[in-house]
Amino acid sequence: MYIDEIAARMAPWGGVARASRLIRAGATRSDIRRSCARGELVRIREGVYALPSVDASVRLAAAHGGALACVSALRAMGIWVLDAPGIHVWLGHGGREHPHPDCACVVHWDVGRAEPGRVDLVRALVQVASCQGAEAFFVAFESAWRLRRLDGRARAEVRRRLPAGMRYLIDLARPDADSGLESIVRLRLARLGIALRSQVRIADVGVVDLLLDDRIILEVDGRENHDGSIRRHRDLRRDAEAARRGYITLRFDYALVMHEWDVVLDAILAARETLASRSESPYAAALR
């Protein structure tokens, strides 16, 4: 079997496979040895091979004995995930670990037989829920939905496989969250009974991330500011236009949301108090 035939067989498996699987697909041990000698295949460990183009994280998972899983698999799929250390590896039920140099793998033992490669999206999301908790699951689920990776059937399957106590997260989820930070802010406020509107268009201002009490704009930005002063000017212009129309704008970045949530929450609650006092003032009544 030529390497293009071997590669075609391996493509649906994520470009990595056990020798036994390749042999069942028609390759011989001589084909595998010859492809390795030519650099057309890479030997990951005894009996496991990968195409040279396979991502390094998938290779590490295969070296450890299983498939790339949980947050590591979602990150490889381009899904927005919270930071988590190590490479997450699914070994299936009764799999065997193969520690390797500089090994910092996080192992998942959930039911099934793990083949080298990468777990599917539904399994990865369910693994995140049990491994990383509700917030990590919520941001990943909304990101996958926004990227159109989750159709109705897949969302229902995720819900079915989640612990009962976490299924409410599916009901809160939306397909239009602009960033994982936006998802986190909305989830945390929802748990406090504070409802928000997402991705709201305001005349002469544009689409804002979140709108609270119809007058408080919350902008959350997890992206790096590559535009520098140009982007800052645009944001200031939007804020000024919003203020002209009676809106209060609060802006939060990754560090504030993830590491100083008490500051964020206090600012939001203070803005609500300001809005309430404004509506009760004699000046506001005269304007009405």
The number of domains in the chain is 3
Crossing angle for the helix pair 180-191 and 134-146, to the nearest 10 degrees: 130
Cα-based torsion angle of the residue sequence 85, 90, 95, 100 in order, rounded to the nearest 10 degrees: -40
Verify that 65 and 47 share a domain, yes or no: no
Say yes or no: 269 and 198 in one domain. yes
Which of 116, 145, 172 is the last residue before a domain boundary?
172
The pLDDT value recorded for residue 278 is 80
DSSP state of 106: E
Same domain, yes or no: 71 and 158:
yes
Per DSSP, what are the bridge partners of residue 220? 252
The span from the CA of 188 to the CA of 177, in Å, is: 14
Indicate whether 146 and 84 sit together in one domain: yes
Give me the domain span that covers residue 101: 59-172
Residue 67: per-residue pLDDT: 97
pLDDT grade, residue 147 (50/70/90)? very high
Residues 48 and 68 in one domain: no
Q: Is 112 in the same domain as 193?
A: no
Residue 226: per-residue pLDDT: 46
pLDDT-derived band at 228 (thresholds 50, 70, 90) equals low
Q: Do 166 and 97 belong together in one domain?
A: yes
Backbone angles phi, psi at 249, to 5 degrees: -110, 130
- Higher pLDDT: 178 or 7? It is 7
pLDDT in tens, 67-80: 999 999 999 999 99
Amino acid at 33: R
Q: Does residue 282 share a domain with residue 242?
A: yes
Q: Report the predicted TM-score, pTM, of the whole model to 2 decimal places.
A: 0.88
If asked whether residues 127 and 107 sit together in one domain, one would say yes
What's the pLDDT tens digit per position in 9-63?
Answer: 999 999 999 999 999 999 999 999 999 999 999 999 999 999 999 999 999 999 9
Is 32 found in the same domain as 64? no
